[in-house]
Amino acid sequence: MHQFDKHYWEDHWSPRSHEASSMPVNPYLMAETAQLPAGSALDAGCGTGTEAIWLAEQGWQVTGADISATVLSTAADKSAAAGVDEQIEWVETDLSCWEPERTWDLVVTNYAHPDTGQLEFYDRIASWVAPGGTILIVGHRHGEGRGHDHDDAHPEGATATLAGITELFTSPQWGIDASYENSRTVKAGGRTVQLDDVIVRAHRLR
What does the pLDDT look like over 57-75, one tens digit per residue?
999 999 999 999 999 999 9
pLDDT at 147 over 80: no
Instruction: Give which of 157, 154, 158, 197 is closest to 178, Cα–Cα.
Output: 197
- CATH number for the segment(s) 6-14+38-204: 3.40.50.150
pLDDT band at 196 (very low <50, low <70, confident <90, very high): very high
Contact status, residue 81 vs residue 73, Cβ threshold 8 Å: no
Please state, rounded to an integer, the average pLDDT across all residues of the chain: 86
pLDDT at 53 over 50: yes
> Which strand (E) or helix (H) includes residue 69?
helix 69-82
Residue-wise pLDDT tens digits, 151-163: 445 555 579 999 9
Residue 4: CB partners within 8 Å, gap ≥ 6? 113, 114, 115, 157, 158
pTM of the predicted model as reported, rounded to 2 decimal places = 0.85
> Domain coordinates of the chain in residue numbers?
6-14+38-204
Position with higher pLDDT, 2 vs 171? 171
User: What pLDDT, on a 0 to 100 scale, did the predictor assign at position 145?
Assistant: 44
Provide the percentage of residues in the chain whose pLDDT is more than 70: 81
Position with higher pLDDT, 48 vs 155? 48
Between the alpha carbon of residue 97 and those of residues 7, 29, 121, the distances in Å are: 16, 25, 10
pLDDT at 129 over 60: yes
User: What pLDDT, on a 0 to 100 scale, did the predictor assign at position 193?
Assistant: 82
Between the alpha carbon of residue 1 and those of residues 4, 5, 91, 115, 160, the distances in Å are: 9, 12, 27, 9, 14
Residue-wise pLDDT tens digits, 154-191: 555 579 999 999 999 999 999 999 999 999 988 766 77
